[in-house]
């Protein structure tokens, strides 16, 4: 009977040691998995930081372009208002003038058409000519869109 108790205790100790060893091995494998997950998490965080930086740069660029576009729109609106004022003075009848002074009106309209075409080209991204950049007098500017066509001209 004493031998059986000794054997049971020995079996319990061996089972306890085997269970402890298995538990330690499971902890090691869990630790390895956790380390791999930690590495992936850190990589993911770094890629998210990079993405956020890129988005911030893109957002800043969008704001910059938006400001430039708003400035261009306000200049074009001012030019349109100036053009509207030129055509709507008092009781001017452009049709009657065209009949009475055909050649003069034709020359004025053709010149205005060329100027308006240049305004569209510049608004679409065309480069300024040296003559347009250097224009500072009213007689040298494109009157259809002076703020767009002649950046150095200051209206008085």
CA separation for the pair 84, 92 (Å, rounded): 13
Span 31-41, pLDDT tens digits: 999 999 999 99
Query: What residue ranges do the domains of the chain occupy?
Result: 92-156
Query: Which pLDDT value is given to residue 43?
Result: 95
Query: Which pLDDT does position 67 carry in this prediction?
Result: 95
Flag whether pLDDT at 55 surpasses 80: yes
Q: What's residue 58's pLDDT?
A: 96
Residue 69 is predicted with a pLDDT of: 92
How confident is the model over 133-155, as pLDDT tens digits? Answer: 888 888 888 888 888 888 887 77
Compute the average pLDDT of residues 106-111: 89
59-104 per-position pLDDT tens digit: 999 999 999 999 989 988 888 887 777 766 666 667 777 788 889 8
């Amino acid at each position: 009977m004493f031998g059986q108790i000794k054997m049971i205790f020995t079996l319990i100790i061996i089972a306890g040691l085997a269970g402890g060893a298995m538990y330690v091995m499971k902890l090691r494998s869990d630790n390895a998995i956790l380390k791999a997950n930690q590495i992936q998490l850190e990589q993911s965080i770094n890629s998210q930081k990079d993405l956020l930086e890129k988005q911030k740069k893109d957002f800043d660029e969008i704001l910059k372009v938006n400001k430039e576009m708003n400035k261009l729109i306000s200049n074009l609106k001012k030019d349109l208002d100036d053009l509207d004022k030129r055509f709507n003075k008092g009781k001017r009848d452009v049709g009657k003038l065209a009949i009475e002074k055909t050649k003069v009106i034709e020359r004025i309209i053709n010149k205005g058409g060329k100027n308006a075409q240049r305004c569209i080209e510049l608004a679409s991204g065309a480069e300024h000519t040296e003559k347009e950049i250097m224009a500072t007098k009213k007689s040298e500017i494109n009157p259809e869109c002076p703020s767009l066509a002649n950046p150095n001209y200051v209206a008085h």
